[in-house]
Structure formats: structure tokens, C-alpha cells
Structure 1
Amino acid sequence: MTRTTPPRPADVAAVFPRLGPLARTATRLHPRPGSPSRQDSSVGGPLLWPSAEPWPHCDGTHWAPDVLPATSPADVRLLREIRSAATSRPPEDRFYTPDERAVVERINAGHPCPAGPVALLPVAQLYVREVPGLRPPGGADLLQVLWCPFDHPGETMPRTELFWRSAAAVGGVLTTPPEPAAMQHRGYLPEPCLLSPEQITEYPLTVELEPDLCEEIEAWSVRQKAGALPGSAYEGMEEMYYDRELAVSPGWKVGGWAPWSFTDPTTQHCRVCDSPMEPMLTIASREHKTGIGSWTPLEDQAAAASSPDAVPPDPTTPTQVTIGDAYNQQIYACPASPEHPHTALVQ
């Protein structure tokens, strides 16, 4: 499986030489539905977890189930199967059967949430050999990311835990890890996906640039998108051209620049050593935005341009992860020591 980002529509570092020193390498992960093994880098796949190491649980205070009815990982998978089956039928037959509707109504009704610690769900497993942008601590070559499938009071994203390890030192493998008896957000269950890591070059969004350079780039963007068609992604927003298509790539990625959206950029400082932290992993709700296709891999462009009657899955949401209202969860790591606690923001 290969995914190739098209050449950028413009060489912005040549147009604006001040951007050159700000270039960063990002690794787009390009998750796509598949059947990963424990030896694969993956999103939502099985983890190479030592059988001698307890599976992590969250014992925090979870958001009350009456806010959003709880369900279970098994029911979420069943609901996705039913929806996929229905939407893959001819347009005139895209309705639930009576049996399917009964199952959907049962799942939507939810069920009581049991008390006690909640088993974490696998989010991503990344081998350094496949994702060279990772900065592991000494002796480690594997990063595993898990999260709690419930929100917590005052939080608007899943609470993550990161584990670095040496794959060769794992020994016996836990073959049947526990799953949470309940989960609150269906978008917190990643669909198993294989990865096709690809390194690209990114530049910071205009909100992170000096004001004068920001103004120059926005004026240039307006000229590039002058005459945007009514109803297009750039009608009345021509100044966003650089940010959307030349700066920060969409989708799951390691490294690069942060995809700031509804908040202003804020430097994240390590709680241990106070070092400025750097973007490590972007967990994305979407791989690309409707109407903005320059980041769409060459191998996916035919599917992205196909008719609404195309058979799912939706190429923009391969992992079926949703953070808030289709935002990103940005994980930051300490460049001085990867073992220091990470932090995360919704962007």
C-alpha cells in the first residue's frame, strides 16, 4: 500500500524565502482500513503488548452516561457493519431492514455504564523503522498510544497514555487484551487501519508567523485564488489558500507543524523540565477537507472524485475517529526527554 502526496501547487519557500528556515519534516501516516498484525504500524490495530505487563485502565471520573448514552465496542462495530451494508446497496435500497433497524434502535438506546476502572482502547502503534520522525528514548523502537473511551469533566477529548518499548524485549505477547465494558463516544473506537508513512515538508500556519510576513502571504493567497467560483471552498476566503494547501497537511501525522484552528497558538511547556514541547502526533478526524484536494494522495484521487453513490468507506474518514466537531487531537512531546509526560490539545 503506497500513498503519494502530489507536488505542492507552489514553492512557497521560493516565493517567501523567510519561510525556508521554518520548514519541518512531517510524516503523513495515511491510515486506510485493513487487517494489521502486532508486527505492523497501525491505527486501531492489535498491540505488541507484553503478557507480563498489566493492561492500562482509567480510574478517573468519567462523564455521566446520561449526557450521552453509553454503548460498547462490540455494538459500535456492529453498528458500523449495518451502516456499511445499507449504504453499499443501490441508492433506491439504502434503508435498514426491519432486523437492522431493531439492532440500531437497541444500540442507540444505550445501556447502563458499569462502575469502576475502564480498560483503555488501542489508538496507534508506530514502529520507528516505519515512522522515522519519531524520537524514542534510548533502547526503544516502538510507540503505543491508548486512550480512555470516555470524556472526563472539563475535558473535550479522550485522555491518552503513551508507552515506549523495545519490540525485541517484549517476549510473551498478550493475545486477548481486555476491552471496556462500555464507552461513551463511538468516534473513540478507531477502525483497524494499516499505514503508509510518507515524509513531506510543512510550514507554519500564518497565525504562527510574524505579522508582516502573514500579511504578505495572505495578500499573495488572495491573488492566487482571485475569481473563486461561487460555492467553492475559497469563495470569500481566498486568503486561506496558503494555510489550507501549502502549510500544514491534514490527517494523521507525526511531527511537522500544529494544525491550529479555533484557538490561538500557545507554546506547550514540559511539566518536568519546562522545555518548549513539539508536535509529536496528530490524531485527525478527517484525512482531507471537502473541496480542497491538493493534499489528497494520487492513489486516492479517483475515489475522492467519484459520485456520492460510491461504496463506502468514506475516504476522508478511514479511521472513523471523531474528536469533538471533527477536530484534531494534537499530542506534544518534550524534545529534551521523550520519557517526560506528554500533553495534548484539541485543534
Structure 2
Amino acid sequence: MNVAPVTPPRPLDVAAVFPQLVPLARTATRLHPRPGAPTWYDSSIGGPLLWPADEPWPHCEGPHEVDGMNPVLSPADVRLERRIRAASHGREMTPQEQKTLERIRPPRKLPMRPAVQPYDGSMAMLPVAQLYARDVPDLRAPKGTDLLQVLWCPFDHPIMPRTALFWRSAATVTDILGTPPEPPAMQFDAYLPEPCLLHPEQITEYPDHLELSTELQEQLSQWSVPQADEEDMDPQTYYDCVLSNAPGWKVGGWAAWDSTDPCPRPCPECGTGMEVLLTIATFEEGDDEGRSWSPYENPAAEPSPGSDHFDPGRPTAVQIGRGHRQHLYICPAAPEHPHLELMT
């Protein structure tokens, strides 16, 4: 039986212990991406977009630079490489498969190329996410729209892909662009999301401890010692890892601050404090030893039919930085205002 992923209950209700957290609670929708074959009419990660045939496809004009130590790959070659590796799982590769992989990623030869090379030309952006408001409770679409489409340039700008957001009414798209353009090159294969269907689930989240008052941080730190001891965890990370906010791809909720500190995020147009729209995650599992956020009754223990890639921890095959998250912030007063990107 195909049962949707469900987040296990939190070990305790932290807001009951610390009532100061009650007004800070936010809902978030975990997307739970799983490999599949999404269509234009599905909410998806890496799937086809319901894009009007008469609307220009987004392109990024650069600059685009590549690390000379790594090969520049095309989306077609990335897909071919994934298919070969999936098909050869559990057996030795054929000579033809090995030859193809060596063509895609040639052996390094001396002298090495320059460390950084510019790549000239406009880059067609790649689909990252398509979210229908009917599927995602925390997707607060602007009036007159019910669909969010997220694309990105598969090159770092400067430390993560540059994204573009499009809000539209699905009912107005009657003539669909069947074969959108693709970029001739990608900086990393991890910037090509594997097509995934979604299993949205709404949960409640609380802020990272760094966004709390100093007094509440101290109270949480002292209280966490016996709690963490029972779970054999570090008390300094117990609240953030287990009780505050979920890992993985999600809409809404709170950001996690692992590699940088929180900072003011005013809307560049009107000054309103911006909120998380979408979290693009490397990993679906949490940082705690018990992986307490990992969903149970998970239907995707094995690859879906026709799937080229499946890793329970990284079903989308996306990687941000060295395993971080890319948060897209929008203005809650006017979602059409320019958005903000942060890597944490």
C-alpha cells in the first residue's frame, strides 16, 4: 500500500514548556519529494512547468564561471550518467557504459586547466519547483494566482544558483510550451533536480535558537541538558535539531541557521520584514542522531519505476554548497516584490 510520508510527533510540546514560543509558532508544509514522473498539472520538484507557449523562457545573462578542475556538463549528459549508474547497480558496467562515462567526465590530464574559466553566452534556466496552491497549505499566493514556478541558473552567483519566481493562474495557460530550452552547460550536476512528485504535509515550527531573546536562549540551554542526555545528544543543539524546525524541502516556516547568523531581511521595495517562501534543501533528514524528523510509513524505500536516481536522504539529487540550504524569502505584504536568497 502506498502511504504518504508522515513526520513523527515531536518528543514533547516545547511551547507548553516555554509559553514564550507560542506567539512565534508558524506552520510549514514539508514537501516530501519522491522520485516520480510529474506532469504539467502536478506540484513537483524538477518536473515540467505549466509554461505558456507564447511567454519567453527565462534566461540568465551571467556572469558564468566554471572551476577548471571539473568538467562542464550538459543536462542531457547528467541524465545519461544517472541512467547508466542506476542501470548498472549491482553489476559490473559494460565497456560501452564505461566509455560513455569517460566521455562525460574525461580523466584529468596534466597540465591542469586554469582554476576559473568564464563561460560565455546566455543560459536557459532550469525548472526547480512547481507548486499549486491547492496542494501546499502554506503557499500564500498573490490574489489572482494559484501557481508558483521556481527556476534557477545552474551556475553559482556567487555561492549558489540564482533563482527566478513566477506566480500565475493555471487556468490562463491553455497553450503549453512542450519543449523548453535547456542550458548548454551546468556548473554542477547537483543543480539538475531529479523529477519528483510531492507529498505535502503541514507541521508547526518554532524559530532557531539564534532568533530568540538572550533570556530565552539561556533558559532553553539549561533545560536542554537533561532532555539531550536522555537522547544521547549535545544539549547545545537539542532544541534546534529536534524541536524547532524541520529539515528538507518545505514552504513557509522558519529558517535554520547552521553556517551564518540571522540578520534583518527587509523587503527592498517597502521595508516589510521578509519571510521564508521556500527552502531548497540538500538533505531531507535532520542532524539529530535519531533522525527524529525522518518520516515514517515511507513509501519510497526503493526507486520508483523509471527513476534514474534515488537516495532517501537526497531524493532530488540537489546539493547546495557543501550540504546546506537555500532559503528564498518574499515580502508577505506583496509577494510580487523582489525576493531574497540566503544560504544557511
TM-score scaled by length of structure 1: 0.89
SS in 2 for 1:25: strand
Q: Match for residue 322 of structure 2?
A: 325
Identity value in percent: 57
Instruction: Determine whether 1:226 maps to 2:229.
Output: yes
Report the counterpart of residue 194 of structure 2 in structure 1.
191
Amino acid corresponding to residue 165 of structure 1 in structure 2: R
Contact 2:286 2:293 in 1 (8 A): no
Say if 2:105 is the partner of 1:100. no
Cα distance change of structure 1 residues 174 and 303 upon mapping to structure 2, 3 Å threshold: closer
Does residue 1:209 correspond to 2:221, yes or no? no
Map of 2:126 onto structure 1: 121
CA contact (8 A) 1:32 1:319 kept: yes
Consecutive unaligned residues of structure 2, counting only runs of 5 or more, are 108-116, 303-307
Within 2, Cα distance between the matches of 1:302 and 1:84? 16
CA, structure 1 residues 213+157, in 2 after alignment: closer, same or farther (shift >3 Å)? same
> In structure 2, how many angstroms separate the alpha carbons of the residues matched to 1:280 and 1:201?
15
**Which residue type is aligned with residue 252 of structure 2?**
G
Matched, 1:161 2:164: yes
The residue identity in structure 1 corresponding to 2:228 is K
Number of aligned residues: 328
Matched, 1:286 2:289: no
Q: Is the 8 A contact 2:249 2:281 kept in 1?
A: yes
Matches of 1:215 and 1:104, distance apart in 2 = 53
RMSD: 2.2
Distance, in Å, in 2 between the alignment partners of 1:68 and 1:312 is 21
**Kept in 1: contact 2:150–2:166 (CA 8 A):** yes
* Equivalent position of 1:240 in the other structure: 237
Contact 2:35 2:309 (8 Å CA) reproduced: no
Query: Separation in 2 of the partners of 1:285 and 1:26?
Result: 18
Post-superposition offset of 1:25: 0.3
Cα–Cα, structure 1 residues 151 and 126, in superposed 2: closer, same or farther, change >3 Å? same
Q: Is the 8 A contact 2:64 2:119 kept in 1?
A: no
1:143-180 superposed Cα distances (whole Å, 9 cap, x missing partner): 0000001123xx11000000000000112000111111
Q: Which residue of 2 aligns with 1:260?
A: 257
* Inter-partner Cα distance in structure 1 for 2:119 and 2:22: 54
Deviations 1:70-127 (A, max 9, x none): 10101111111222233x31xxx4x4433222222221139x9973111000000000
Q: In 1, distance between residues paired with 2:309 and 2:140?
A: 36
Q: Assess if the C-alpha contact under 8 Å between 1:219 and 1:239 holds in 2.
A: no
Residue equivalent to 1:170 = 173
Cα 1:195/1:288, change in 2 over 3 Å: same
- Partner Cα separation in structure 1 for residue 183 and residue 335 of structure 2: 28
Q: How much does 1:69 deviate?
A: 2.2
Q: Report what 2:150 is aligned to.
A: 145
Scaled by the length of structure 2, what TM-score is found? 0.90
Residue of structure 2 in register with 1:343 after alignment? 340
